[in-house]
Amino acid sequence: MENQNILIYDTTLRDGTQREGLSLSVEDKVRIAVRLDRMGVAFIEGGWAGANPKDGEFFRRMQEYRLSSAELVVFCSTRRAGIKAKDDPMLVPIIAAETKWITIFGKSWDLHVIEGLRTTLEENLAMISDTIAYLKSCDRRLIYDAEHWFDGYKNNPDYALQTLKASLDAGAEWFVLCDTNGGTLPDEVAKITEVVNERLRQWGSSPQIGIHTHNDAGLAVANAIAAVQHGATMVQGTINGYGERCGNANLCTVIPNLQLKMGYDCIDAEKLAQLTEVSRQVSEIVNLAPDDHAPFVGASAFAHKGGIHVSAVQRNPLTYEHIAPESIGNNRRIVISEQAGISNVISKVETFGICLRKEDPACRQILQMTKELEQLGYQFESAEASFELLVREALGDRPKFFTISSFHVYCSTESTHINGLVGSQATVKVMVNDEEHLTAAEGNGPVAALDIALRKALVSFYPEIANFYLTDYKVRILNSDSGTNAVTRVLIEFSNGKRRWSTAGVSNNIIDASCKALVEGLEYGLLSAVRHTKV
């Protein structure tokens, strides 16, 4: 017997963009749509054409592309009260989007009909029926999103079912049950989905049920899975769970749970290994830092820190891993910290292309150095690039791209930018190939000025540096009881647009700590570029 197929409906480009602080350009939306299509999702909801110029332009742009596996979907509400669908100008750009599929959402909850739409229950049914019938007459296929379905059903089940029947009779092919407020529990989702499944059969329809869940109670993924277990064959969600308030069902969690643990077919098996890459690419495009602790796709999802754990995983990964990380495109990471053992060191340096044995003196030397530095305030589990440089230093294999002879940073309230920030100046003297170079730069803060000056001094020797940029900067006071004499740890994350790496600096001077982390970040980026060139 073949596994049951579950269609994945991605709404990152519409519902996902309702997340606070998330905004996408038309080009961003096109890039994400093309990438989702390559991964093999069934539907990509592109937005509400006509609601804003950006979404209209997106659908015009997408007419230039031929998607290989996904159907592009335009989204819209039912017509307005008191007007025929054919006369509603809101539907004109929906038809002009030229998508085969249209998703129409309507009200299932009588509370929303009366207080939100301020119309009658009968008119709401007419709005659903008329809109779907009209769009179907325009040679479109319809997905009906029953907004606030579960709350509406719990409040007035008879009326909620009437709205579903209206969409069915008008020609909708899919019936998506929406937990719009995100507060329904999994057992309620299961029971109500079963009711809908049975009722659709009684009405003589093939029950094509979808599920759309929000995460306000932290249950979006659990609710989506519960619906699938009780008859839903379409799951709507977003990459990384982006969405309004607490977000939507995270497809990066839903897909591997359904496919690897429950035996459903969501996307082609060979494309499942793209999941981690897609998660990180989308986070890069939307300019939000990836969640390192996200299930399945997070950088820490298969990270092992304790020495006993590492030793066991080396013998058999099943001891501490619920799936093979490679199956969803992730990888195992050995974390180095004060809790590390010899097994951690050996496993970690293997990822750098270095082979050590337990009896090698370098193993204990590296372990001892790590623990001593962490005692001073370093944190290598969050700064793996710094750890690799430490290892290569211990082994005499750390290239010297440059050294800083001296640097000075100046801040002045008289030198201000238009935005009101205090201006800073930095001078840096560096040695490259036995030649000394002095440069200066301005920035809107001391670290920014130092970063700019350092790059300015080095870019003519190492053009790759122009592609490195800072993606995160964190400062931690390690002994706050010491006041202004406290030791500071700075963690800086870099990217070259393809991968990220992190470095650390520790000092009782925040500028010095920042400089150490900056220098190591540039060093590691150059080391990686050299390795990539050799490969």
Report if residue 411 sits inside a domain. no
Whether 45 and 135 map to the same domain: the answer is yes
Whether 262 and 326 map to the same domain: the answer is no
User: CB 238: neighbour CB atoms within 10 A?
Assistant: 26
Q: Where are the beta strands (DSSP E) in 302-370?
A: 303-304, 333-334
For the record, the structure tokens of 306 come out as 């304790």
Which is nearest to 236 in space by CA: 245, 206, 227, 441?
227
Q: Say how far apart CA 330 and CA 194 lie, in whole Å.
A: 35
Please name the amino acid found at residue 411.
C
Q: Say how far apart CA 320 and CA 305 lie, in whole Å.
A: 11
Distances (CA, A) of 355 to 118, 347, 358, 359: 71, 9, 10, 12
Report if residue 239 sits inside a domain. yes
Q: Which domain holds residue 365?
A: 303-376
Report if residue 256 sits inside a domain. yes
Domain stops at, among 234, 256, 285: 285
Q: Where are the beta strands (DSSP E) in 333-381?
A: 333-334
Report if residue 515 sits inside a domain. no
Domains in the chain, number:
2
Report if residue 505 sits inside a domain. no
Look at residue 124 in the predicted model and tell me its pLDDT.
97
Predicted TM-score (pTM) of the model is 0.72
Whether 187 and 312 map to the same domain: the answer is no
Q: Say how far apart CA 428 and CA 440 lie, in whole Å.
A: 6
Whether 272 and 325 map to the same domain: the answer is no
Report if residue 199 sits inside a domain. yes
Which is nearest to 237 in space by CA: 1, 392, 8, 484?
8
Whether 310 and 275 map to the same domain: the answer is no
Q: Say how far apart CA 496 and CA 524 lie, in whole Å.
A: 11
Please name the amino acid found at residue 212.
H
For the record, the structure tokens of 106 come out as 């309507």
Whether 233 and 202 map to the same domain: the answer is yes
For the record, the structure tokens of 325 come out as 């990380």
Q: What CATH number is attached to the domain comprising 94?
A: 3.20.20.70
Report if residue 112 sits inside a domain. yes
Whether 242 and 183 map to the same domain: the answer is yes
Please report where in the chains the tokens 């995270």 appear, as a residue. 250
Whether 177 and 311 map to the same domain: the answer is no
Report if residue 444 sits inside a domain. no
Look at residue 535 in the predicted model and tell me its pLDDT.
43
Whether 86 and 31 map to the same domain: the answer is yes
Whether 451 and 473 have beta carbons less than 8 Å apart is answered as: no
Q: Say how far apart CA 202 and CA 53 lie, in whole Å.
A: 43
What b/e string do you get for 160-176 counting C-beta neighbours within 10 Å, with b at 16 or more? Answer: bbbbbbbbbebbbbbbb
Q: How many alpha carbons lie under 13 Å from residue 86 in its C-beta half-sphere?
A: 5
Residues of the chain with pLDDT under 70: 1-2, 305-315, 317, 320, 334-344, 381, 413-422, 480-484, 532-535
339 phi, psi to nearest 5 deg: -90, 0
Q: What residue spans of 266-360 are helical by DSSP H?
A: 275-285, 307-315, 342-350
Whether 382 and 504 have beta carbons less than 8 Å apart is answered as: yes
- Cβ neighbours of residue 460 closer than 8 Å, sequence gap 6 or more: none
Q: With H, G, I as helix, E, B as strand and everything else as coil, classify residue 140.
A: coil
Q: Say how far apart CA 210 and CA 189 lie, in whole Å.
A: 12
Whether 195 and 324 map to the same domain: the answer is no
Whether 220 and 323 map to the same domain: the answer is no
Angle of helix 157-170 relative to helix 121-137, nearest 10 degrees, comes to: 20
- Cβ neighbours of residue 375 closer than 8 Å, sequence gap 6 or more: 338
Whether 176 and 312 map to the same domain: the answer is no
Q: With H, G, I as helix, E, B as strand and everything else as coil, classify residue 209.
A: strand
